[in-house]
């Protein structure tokens, strides 16, 4: 294994801390960073004051197709893509900066944050693996997350054509208050 410089190592530690603060799971850290598992566990404990959670990561692209998740996934992926392509950020930097911007947008507009960092990372992996892609809405011409191998036809995004039950829960809560 080639030796990395102290500056490169410090940058990796800084990236690890940023990812941990945003809620990255160990599988994400191990996949994206060159630090050892032991070092990542120590960093996780130091940053979060607890051991990293165990368990499986999300593994289905179907989750991103539900109407609210699709809106949030599309918003995040547009931000990530812009940072990667236009701002020329590395994958890890685009992921952390894009997720921060997504979260800040949700918070400032009063929306619930539907994507956690692990789901955002998994979304990017589904795009890189050729499972998902952005399709153009036939109504608003915006792009939204969809399956790569969907039959080519005019398709509306969930903003233009929400499901029939969308917003029912909110209306029910308003009626109770």
The confidence score (pLDDT) of residue 167 equals: 65
What's the rounded mean pLDDT across residues 92-111? Answer: 96
- Token digits of residue 63: 């989750």
The annotated binding site is made up of: 137, 140, 157, 160
Q: Is the pLDDT of residue 100 over 80?
A: yes
Looking at the predicted structure, is the pLDDT value of residue 122 above 70?
yes
Are the CB atoms for 44 and 20 separated by under 8 Å?
yes
Mean pLDDT of the chain: 90
Burial 57-79 (b: 16+ CB within 10 A, else e): eeeebebbbeeebbbbbbbbbbb
% pLDDT > 70, the chain: 92
Length reported for the chain = 177
Given a contact cutoff of 8 angstroms between Cβ atoms, the answer to whether 134 and 146 are in contact is yes
pLDDT in tens, 45-61: 999 999 998 888 778 99
What confidence score (pLDDT) does residue 152 get?
A: 64
- The answer to whether 64 touches 77, Cβ cutoff 8 Å, is no
The better pLDDT of the pair 42, 165 is held by 42
pLDDT: which is higher, 122 or 176: 122
Q: What is the pTM of this model?
A: 0.87
Residues contributing to the annotated binding site for Zn(2+):
137, 140, 157, 160
Which pLDDT belongs to residue 139? 93
Nearest to 92 by CA among 105, 80, 78: 80
């Amino acid at each position: 294994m080639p030796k990395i410089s102290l500056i490169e190592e410090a940058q990796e530690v800084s990236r690890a801390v940023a990812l941990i603060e945003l809620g990255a799971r160990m599988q994400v850290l191990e996949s994206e960073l060159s630090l050892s598992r032991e070092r990542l566990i120590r960093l996780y404990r130091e940053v979060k004051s607890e051991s990293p959670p165990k368990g499986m990561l999300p593994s289905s692209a179907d989750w991103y197709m539900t109407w609210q998740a699709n809106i949030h996934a599309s918003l995040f992926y547009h931000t990530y893509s812009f940072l990667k392509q236009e701002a020329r950020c590395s994958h890890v930097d685009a992921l952390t900066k894009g997720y921060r911007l997504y979260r800040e947008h949700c918070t400032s507009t009063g929306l619930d944050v539907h994507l956690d960092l692990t789901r955002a990372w998994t979304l990017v992996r589904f795009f890189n693996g050729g499972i998902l892609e952005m399709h153009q809405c036939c109504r608003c011409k915006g792009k939204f997350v969809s399956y790569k191998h969907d039959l080519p036809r005019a398709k509306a995004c969930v903003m233009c054509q929400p499901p029939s039950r969308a917003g029912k829960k909110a209306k029910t809560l308003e009626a109770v208050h």
